[in-house]
Chains A and B, each alone.
Chain A
Amino acid sequence: MQTGTPEKIFVKGNEAVAMAALEAGCHCYFGYPITPQSDIPEYLSRELPRLGGEFIQAESEIGAINMLLGASAAGVRAMTSSSGPGISLKQEGISYMAGSELPGVIVDVMRAGPGLGGIDASQADYFQATRGGGHGGYRIIVLAPASVQEMYDLTMLAFDLSDIYRMPAMVLADSVIGQMKESVTCGPRPQTVLPPKEWVVRGRAAGEPQNVVKSLYLGDGEMEAFHWKMQARYQELADRECRWEEVQTTDAELIVTAFGSTSRIAKTAVAMAREAGMKVGLMRPITLFPFPKKAYAALSERCKLFLDIELSTGQMIDDVRLSVARDADVAFYGRPPGAGSLPTPEELFEQIKKNYRASA
């Protein structure tokens, strides 16, 4: 399903996700309508069947995630997408997929919560995404796009990482990134070398081993062994797959850190601070799991003041604090999500000035 084109096109973030899925060879999509991500199922309901793929509007997000489980177990690339309330419903299936070592891409276009919340941008599902979200103690790969281009690129990457590490991968966006339009270049699927899927259920022919995709481990020591194996895999991910962006951090005396849509606003505020002669930089994690701990540690060897900015009352800050050197301070500015709470660059610039002065 080659859909990549070299020309720049002007599309919504959600559409870029759908286009990347097609280019990545996603064969099945299962979803359920929920704002602010419905452009994804709408796009794929139109395009996927024409390319020979399968689109199902499931009866619920529970149905959708379990269809993803089944399709993935049968060996094809598959995806689902949702937002807060729907992602909560999917947690059961995500836990089973993690327990069954199944790949699969889950797109979470975050909206405000808890409960029905609202449809405005939010970063308050950081914990849900990066701590596994369901029962049993597991992690999934979490990628945080900050632009429509990254919606495209990171969706593609999510398919590859998910296949390589045999675990679900989540693209964690929000309604700002999902709904805004920007120019993107829809590049071709990368020629990543992927491991053969020898574990898929395919029908056991004579002489072939029986393949079972399961998460039940009752034997003495089996469950423990599974967890140790996954811990080693998480470490492998941390060693190889951390991604982040630094802006003017080399001489920075204060490093602002933020992910996703908030990092866009923070980037403007950092530019305003530089304009005013302040040595301020930006650290933007792109992988939230694995969290780029070593990169933070390295930055904090020299710069001792961080300002973590989130569209929540503070979740990623826990990871930042656990990553930086002990003598580094991490200040926080955040606003709970909801209509009207998205901070302006000026507001963030004020926070930079306040913290920068305090440290001087």
Chain B
Amino acid sequence: MKQVFTRPESLKDVSTHFCPGCHHGSVHRLVAEALDEFGIRSETIGVASVGCSVFLYGYFDVDVIEAPHGRAPAVATGAKRARPDRIVFTYQGDGDLAAIGMSEIIHAANRGEDITVIFVNNTTYGMTGGQMAPTTLPGQKTSTSPYGRDTSKDGSPFKMAELLSNLDGVAFSARVALNSPKNVLNAKKMIKTAFRYQVEKKGFSFIEALASCPTNWGMSPIDANQRVTDEMIPYFPLGVYKNTANL
């Protein structure tokens, strides 16, 4: 019998700590499939960030550096400059990338570092228990915005895929979602394109993946998936914002 579906080689045969319905597992898998399909697992260095994504090294069967909170793009810069023959990617959440690490991501992108950044946006700080993130939607209630995000005081959510696409150093920027089979298939294509940019040495590539966090949203996985469609995608439109090499 022909095997048509299996675990990617770039992922370890372990169960994750992610909550039921969380999309991190899907993003992990799609990144691993991209590494497998390019045959670059043995050349890849992952950079883990702080938050739910910190256990990257427990799930990916690649060498990993654990970066301080928000600093993954700077750590990746150092690793890539030291070893330009390696594939270097960061995997960061919204608090990590768009709050404490805003300086590092903007400058790594602006330098056009030849790295791939996987940004998982679930509009909340997952690991620390659901606090307000830089991408928390207007009016969204979190443990530190109990009356809902007030844009007059907290500002508006950052649209990172659009923001970074404005920088000359960015070669590829796209936003994807994982809440339906169609979106997952498209996300896979986009993530693979992002890595293709690095494989072909065509510059900085960025993927923003809209993800659910049923636990901290206080929703069932199915309701959380629906929220991605109803609330997140209208604010954070899916699409390719920059594709300089038309890959």
Partner-B contacts on A (CB < 8 A) = 27-28, 30, 54, 56, 58-60, 62-64, 66-76, 78, 92-93, 96, 100, 201-206, 210-216
Contacts and interface: CB of A to CB of B under 8 A. Distances in A.
Contacts of A70: 47, 65, 67, 74-80, 82
Interface residues of B, number: 35
Interface string B44-74: 1101100000100100011111111001001
Contacts of A74: 45, 78-79, 82-83, 86
Interface hub of A27, A59, A70, A78 (most chain B Cβ within 10 A): A70
B57 A202 contact: no
B42 interface: yes
Given A96-B68, A215-B66, A63 B81 contact: no
Contacts of B83: 74-76, 202
Contacts of A64: 74
12 contacts: A28-B81, A66-B74, A69-B78, A70-B82, A73-B75, A73-B79, A96-B67, A203-B45, A203-B87, A210-B57, A214-B57, A214-B66
Interface string B78-118: 11111100110000000000000001101100010000000
Contacts of B64: 201, 210-214
B41 interface: yes
B63 A67 contact: no
Contact of A216 (B41, B44, B66): B66
Nearest to A212: B57
A15 to B, nearest CB: 23
A64 B107 CA distance: 11
A203 B39 CA distance: 12
A66 B63 contact: no
B66 A59 contact: no
Given A63-B74, A70-B74, A202-B63, A28 B82 contact: yes
Contacts of B87: 203
Contacts of B48: 214
B107 A67 contact: no
A74 B85 CA distance: 11
Contacts of B154: none
B43 interface: yes
Contacts of B62: 203-204, 210
Ranked 9 nearest A-B pairs via Cβ: A70-B78, A66-B74, A67-B78, A214-B66, A71-B78, A70-B75, A201-B63, A59-B107, A74-B82
Contact of B65 (A54, A69, A210): A69
A67 B74 CA distance: 5
Interface of B: 41-45, 47-48, 54, 57, 61-68, 71, 74-83, 86-87, 103-104, 106-107, 111
Contacts of A76: 82-83
Contacts of B76: 70
Contacts of B63: 201-204, 210-212
B42 A75 contact: no
Contact of B77 (A56, A92, A203, A213): A56
B61 A204 contact: yes
Nearest to A102: B65
Given A69-B78, A73-B75, A73-B79, A210 B45 contact: no
A73 B43 contact: no
A82 B36 CA distance: 42
Nearest to B55: A216
A27 B66 contact: no
Nearest to B46: A201
B81 A67 contact: yes
Contacts of B61: 204, 210
Contacts of A56: 77, 81, 111
B82 A59 contact: no
A63 B67 contact: no
B81 A54 contact: yes
B86 A66 contact: no
Contacts of A96: 67-68
Contacts of B41: 203-204
A204 B42 contact: yes
Contacts of A73: 65, 75, 78-79
Central interface residue in B44, B62, B74, B80, by most chain A CB within 10 Å: B74
A216 B54 CA distance: 9
Contacts of B66: 100, 212-216
B45 A201 contact: yes
Contacts of B54: 216
A204 B57 CA distance: 12
A93 B42 contact: no
Contacts of A66: 67-68, 71, 74-75, 78, 104
B110 to A, nearest CB: 9
B71 A62 contact: yes
A343 to B, nearest CB: 40
Contacts of B82: 27-28, 54, 70-71, 74-76, 78
Contacts of A203: 41-45, 62-63, 86-87
A93 B48 CA distance: 15
B42 A67 contact: no
B90 to A, nearest CB: 10
A166 to B, nearest CB: 15
B42 A68 contact: no
Contacts of A72: 78
